Amino acid sequence: MGTSNDDADNPKKLGGKAMPSGGSPTVRRRRAGRILRELRERSGAEAQDAADALEVTTSTIYRMELGRVGIKPRDVQALTEVYGVSDPAQIEELVRLARDGRKRGWWARYSDTISPPYATYIGLEQDASNLYLYDGLIINGLLQTREYAQATFDFVLEQGRRYMDDRISLRMERQQRLRDDLKIWNIIDEAAIRRVLGGPKVMIDQLQNLLELASLPNVHLQVLPFEGGAYPGMLSSFTILGFGEANGEIDPGYRHPDVVYIEGHNGDVYEEGEDVQPFHEIFGNLRSAALNPGRSLEFIEAQAERLKSL
């Protein structure tokens, strides 16, 4: 993100292969919750009815429906009975989604070093088919070299430094999807290209890495130049996550709604539903204001050459 895109400043493959569409536990948990909410509303049942069936609070039901907590398969059985669902195939798939949603993603081994909101972001990122990124201060974590990533920790608090190695490893592991099917469109402010982190050698290698990644068919880079002045939306870095269609018998063709993630020093912010559209418009404006991809790569290359001459 605008800082490191991996929660570095706040006190993302199984067996090396990308998870299939709908395979992230985070996305499956959210999908199961959405379906259960729709079934409840369709049946006319209240959240209290569901809470009574599971002997939990209504807030727990709402958290389940929002995908913030896992759903036990036996709870699915109880809830579908309350909602009058009798189709065995539908119940079976809901149970499967609930069971898969309770699995631990590969990023769980870094749970001691990242916040729960950021773990949610990584789970969403693992299932996204498209990422639209705007970065204003620092190169995005998905595009960083290890040395540049290490340099981003030069300005974090000592509390963050304790977990530096794990966080960098997490960042590098997330990058595996760049060699797979994840499509990225990254608008990078000129400031991030010119700001030298880690010294000239580290920055030259980072800029060369951007040029190499831009040769991939799924990676598109554009530089937002200083000369254009201020742009709407440039005050905060953000990511729009887009998703492909999920497989399954329930609501075939279902596509997880787009999500906007904004990383900040005071906490992470998610926007969903109608709140996402303004960010699509902002990103479109930023794309129009930025140098085209060809000129952007020329700009990055020129900056690398300038550093070599120092």
pLDDT at 11: 26
Q: CB-based contacts of 158: which residues, under 8 Å, 6+ apart?
A: none
Burial 278-300, CB ≥16 within 10 A → b, else e: ebeebbeebbebbbebeebbebb
Coil, strand or helix: which one is 210?
helix
Coil, strand or helix: which one is 8?
coil
| 259-262 sheet: strands from edge to edge | 219-224, 183-189, 130-135, 238-242, 259-262, 269-272
Task: Encode pLDDT of 225-258 as tens digits.
Answer: 998 777 776 668 999 999 987 665 556 566 788 9
pLDDT at 10: 34
AA identity, residue 218:
N
AA identity, residue 226:
F
pLDDT at 269: 81
pLDDT at 72: 93
pLDDT at 283: 95
In the numeric block, which tokens belong to residue 241? Answer: 């996550």
Quick one: CA dihedral 231, 236, 237, 242, positive or negative?
Answer: negative
pLDDT at 20: 35
Q: How far apart are alpha carbons 52 and 28 in whole angstroms?
A: 25
pLDDT at 218: 96
Task: State the DSSP string of 26-75.
Answer: HHHHHHHHHHHHHHHHHHT--HHHHHHHHTS-HHHHHHHHTTSS---HHH
Q: How far is CA 179 from its chain centroid?
A: 17
Coil, strand or helix: which one is 242?
strand
In the numeric block, which tokens belong to residue 269? Answer: 């912010």
Q: CB-based contacts of 112: which residues, under 8 Å, 6+ apart?
A: 163, 166
In DSSP terms, 131 is beta-bridged to 184, 241
**CA gyration radius, the chain:** 21
What number of other Cβ atoms are within 10 A of residue 104's Cβ? 9
User: Which domains does the chain carry?
Assistant: 25-101 (1.10.260.40), 106-308 (3.30.870)
Task: Encode pLDDT of 104-141 as tens digits.
Answer: 888 889 888 888 888 889 999 998 999 999 999 999 99
How far lies 204's CA from each of 148, 157, 190, 193, in Å?
A: 10, 26, 15, 10
Which of the residues in the chain have pLDDT under 50?
Answer: 1-22
The verdict on pTM exceeding 0.95 is: no
Contact 273, 257 (CB under 8 A): yes
Contact 129, 244 (CB under 8 A): yes
pLDDT at 247: 60
pLDDT at 5: 46
pLDDT at 129: 93
Contact 217, 162 (CB under 8 A): no
